[in-house]
Chain A
Amino acid sequence: MTEPIIRLTNVFKRYDDTEILKGIDIELEQGKFYTLLGPSGCGKTTILRIIAGFTSATSGDVYFDGQRINDLPANQRKVNTVFQDYALFPHMNVHDNVAFGLRLQKKFSKADINQRVHEALTSVRLADYADREISELSGGQQQRVAIARAIVLKPRMLLLDEPLSALDAKLRRDMQYELRDLQQRLGITFLFVTHDQEEALAMSDEIFVMNAGHVLQSGTPVDIYDEPINHFVADFIGESNILTGTMIKDHEVEFVGKRFECADAGMRPNESVEVVLRPEDLDITTPENGKLTVTIESQLFRGDYHEIVAYDSDHNEWLIHSTNPATAGQQVGLTFEPYDIHVMRLHETEADFDARLERYDDEQAEVKRP
């Protein structure tokens, strides 16, 4: 494996008495789109600021290309940032904002600068806006100028601090495509910070899910969605029905007073666990054919599906996404497949979790071989 472009080892950050980061270890490879995902206050922006050099780690090391950069000031780091509020200089026009960093370096001719600024503005589709004042631009256009200003310096890595949060829903979706496209065209590493799980799932090669100063789980969007490590991740990424249960033995789990076949294994017999069932994995059927019987409480039409809330006889709430509408008050059956059940151990670390998944994958392979 090549040397990662950024490596944080055991990074802690304290402000006065509060600990913002509690031992962060992450590695970012060249040319990938990474996302730090978590609720506000989880420390994700602090990681970004430590990498950019706006603040320093209380302890722990930051490596860039294998070089320790803890003490390198922000203005000498080969990373650039797109700020949440864009931070465009209001007393300069679009061209001057983008040219700002180039002019400081004093090694480019005027023609060179104009050429590079034009290229950067073209790549964010604002080539005709060079002479506009910042105040004349819409939010979406300011966003693009901020991106152009950061990429014009040809950084090895681009840091994006919730850059889409101020945009309306439609524009945000368009920008997701554009950012992804831009990252692939430039071939540099993007580190994107957001609290919006949809954004993270849509754009990233790899996601770091954070909470309260810890990285809880990292992996591809599909891995994290399908195999959440714990209650928090399952709840934060996508919508889920989370129930407490008991792992009777490998491939058999008990919850809501019934035993079900499942795909998970490698836990102690009769271990207490939590079970996740995604709403879209639940199918409505007749009460006789269902594995469970629930009563429909209410439903909302969400455009591409109906969001249905139902209760079973133990008063557990069930969230179901269905293409067909249901009738409130009606008793229906719910079915799901064994592999739709995701079993999570309580307090499992990411390393143990990965090891267990690997063992389990090997077993599966052995089962298939004969």
Chain B
Amino acid sequence: MTQRRFKWSSIYLLLVFVILYAPILFLIVYSFNSGTTMDHFDGFTLAHYATLFADTRLIAIVLQTLLIALLSALIATTIGTLGALWIQQTSRPFFKNSLLSFNNILIVSPDVIIGASFLIFFTTLSIPLGFTSVLISHTAFSIPIVVLMVLPRLKELNGSMLDAAADLGATQSQTLRDVIIPFITPGIFAGFFMALTYSLDDFAVTFFVTGNGFSTLSVEIYSRARQGISLEINALSGLLFVLTLVLIVGYYIVSQSSQRRLLRKKRGVNR
């Protein structure tokens, strides 16, 4: 009986995964199509990849997107980590909860609201729409996720560990440098990584706050897709998919090894 149930569940899962991956594989397969549509596969070619690499405008946009992502993630990680420290060591529950609520507003807000309100904000302050406004926006909406990734780590850092540091003679700044920061580093990395993906994945906010001269990949794909099928975009997806895979496998290896360390720690305590 269990075997039969297992089989049904496998078929169901298989179906779900086929649906999840079919569109992506479909895109990549047709990136090698020598035709011009995604309807019939006429033959194998790398021509679209060649077009892609010759498309300096698109390549510039890819580089801009990466630059925005790295810069915004870096700034957001710094500010977010400091914010998490603040929230964690606030003693008044009301103030702490208020800070947390404010932190979460941008996480639960729909993209359009963030985009629209930031657009009003930049216009009010006469900040030019373009690289600056996009960078500020990406930093702003990445900060709360960094806070949320760092906070659990800070909570794990229990009171007696900080007492122990003071007991052994550490000053406040020594405790911060030698105990707290090393301890929450995994959370900081996770926050940075999330900020990076938030930035790379964003379309709506950028769409609102960018000006004429500046574009990110998402916005560019949107405007090209509205004009119809172009297999150059397929080639781009193929490249991005490989890049994402590399990133994820790297992150998976890093997080697995730190998780294993954590598991070992738990086992050690239980023994």
Chain A residues close to B by CB (< 8 Å):
49, 52-54, 73-76, 79-81, 83-85, 87-91, 100-101, 104-105, 133-139, 142, 149-150, 153
Q: Is B182 interfacial (CB 8 A cutoff)?
A: yes
Give every chain B residue within 8 A of A54 (Cβ-Cβ).
Answer: 163, 166-167
Interchain nearest-CB distance for A153 vs B (Å): 7
Of the candidate stretches B138-146, B170-178, B249-257, the one touching chain A is B170-178
Tell me which of B169, B266, B269 contacts A105 (CB under 8 A): B169
Is the beta-carbon distance between B265 and A90 smaller than 8 angstroms? yes
Query: What 9 pairs across the A-B complex have the smallest Cβ distances?
Result: A101-B168, A135-B265, A87-B164, A74-B166, A87-B160, A135-B264, A83-B160, A135-B268, A87-B161
Is the beta-carbon distance between B169 and A83 smaller than 8 angstroms? no
Q: Which of B161-201 contact A (CB under 8 A)?
A: 161, 163-171, 174, 178-179, 182-183, 185
Give every chain A residue within 8 A of B262 (Cβ-Cβ).
Answer: 135
Tell me which of A53, A135, A137, A150 contacts B166 (CB under 8 A): A53
Give every chain A residue within 8 A of B166 (Cβ-Cβ).
Answer: 53-54, 73-75
Give every chain B residue within 8 A of A91 (Cβ-Cβ).
Answer: 182-183, 185
Is the beta-carbon distance between A89 and B170 smaller than 8 angstroms? no
Tell me which of A133, A139, A150 contacts B269 (CB under 8 A): A139
Give every chain B residue within 8 A of A73 (Cβ-Cβ).
Answer: 166
Alpha-carbon distance A100/B170, docked complex (angstroms):
9
Report 22 cross-chain contacts, Cβ distance below 8 Å, ordered by A residue. A54-B163, A54-B166, A54-B167, A74-B163, A81-B163, A83-B164, A87-B160, A87-B161, A87-B163, A88-B164, A91-B185, A100-B168, A104-B168, A104-B178, A133-B261, A135-B262, A135-B265, A135-B268, A136-B264, A138-B268, A139-B269, A139-B271
Q: Is B212 interfacial (CB 8 A cutoff)?
A: no
Which of B167, B182, B262 has the most CB atoms of chain A within a 10 A radius of its CB? B167
Is the beta-carbon distance between B268 and A89 smaller than 8 angstroms? no
Alpha-carbon distance A153/B183, docked complex (angstroms):
23
Tell me which of B160, B171, B265 contacts A75 (CB under 8 A): B171
List the A residue with the shortest CB-CB distance to B163. A54
Interchain nearest-CB distance for A48 vs B (Å): 11
Q: Which of B237-271 contact A (CB under 8 A)?
A: 261-262, 264-269, 271
Is the beta-carbon distance between A134 and B268 smaller than 8 angstroms? yes
Give every chain B residue within 8 A of A76 (Cβ-Cβ).
Answer: 169
Alpha-carbon distance A15/B13, docked complex (angstroms):
55
Give every chain B residue within 8 A of A52 (Cβ-Cβ).
Answer: 163, 167
Interchain nearest-CB distance for B207 vs A (Å): 42
Can you add 7 more A-B contacts, CB < 8 Å, to A75-B171, A142-B269? A52-B167, A74-B167, A79-B167, A81-B163, A89-B179, A100-B168, A137-B268
Give every chain A residue within 8 A of B9 (Cβ-Cβ).
Answer: none
- What bracket does the count of chain B residues touching chain A fall in? 20 to 34
Which of B163, B168, B169, B265 has the most CB atoms of chain A within a 10 A radius of its CB? B168
Give every chain B residue within 8 A of A149 (Cβ-Cβ).
Answer: 164, 168
List the B residue with the shortest CB-CB distance to A161. B160
Alpha-carbon distance A172/B122, docked complex (angstroms):
66
Alpha-carbon distance A153/B166, docked complex (angstroms):
13
List the A residue with the shortest CB-CB distance to B265. A135
Alpha-carbon distance A90/B261, docked complex (angstroms):
10
Alpha-carbon distance A87/B165, docked complex (angstroms):
9
Interchain nearest-CB distance for B184 vs A (Å): 10
List the A residue with the shortest CB-CB distance to B186. A91
Alpha-carbon distance A267/B261, docked complex (angstroms):
66
Give every chain B residue within 8 A of A87 (Cβ-Cβ).
Answer: 158, 160-161, 163-164
Is the beta-carbon distance between A101 and B158 smaller than 8 angstroms? no
Tell me which of B158, B178, B183 contacts A85 (CB under 8 A): B158
If the complex has contacts A90-B265, A135-B264, A137-B268, are A75 and B167 also in contact, measured as CB distance less than 8 A? Answer: yes
Is the beta-carbon distance between B174 and A104 smaller than 8 angstroms? yes
Give every chain A residue within 8 A of B261 (Cβ-Cβ).
Answer: 133, 135
Is the beta-carbon distance between B265 and A134 smaller than 8 angstroms? yes
Is the beta-carbon distance between A81 and B268 smaller than 8 angstroms? no
List the A residue with the shortest CB-CB distance to B179. A89
Is the beta-carbon distance between B168 and A133 smaller than 8 angstroms? no
Interchain nearest-CB distance for A152 vs B (Å): 9
Is the beta-carbon distance between A85 and B160 smaller than 8 angstroms? yes
Interchain nearest-CB distance for A162 vs B (Å): 12
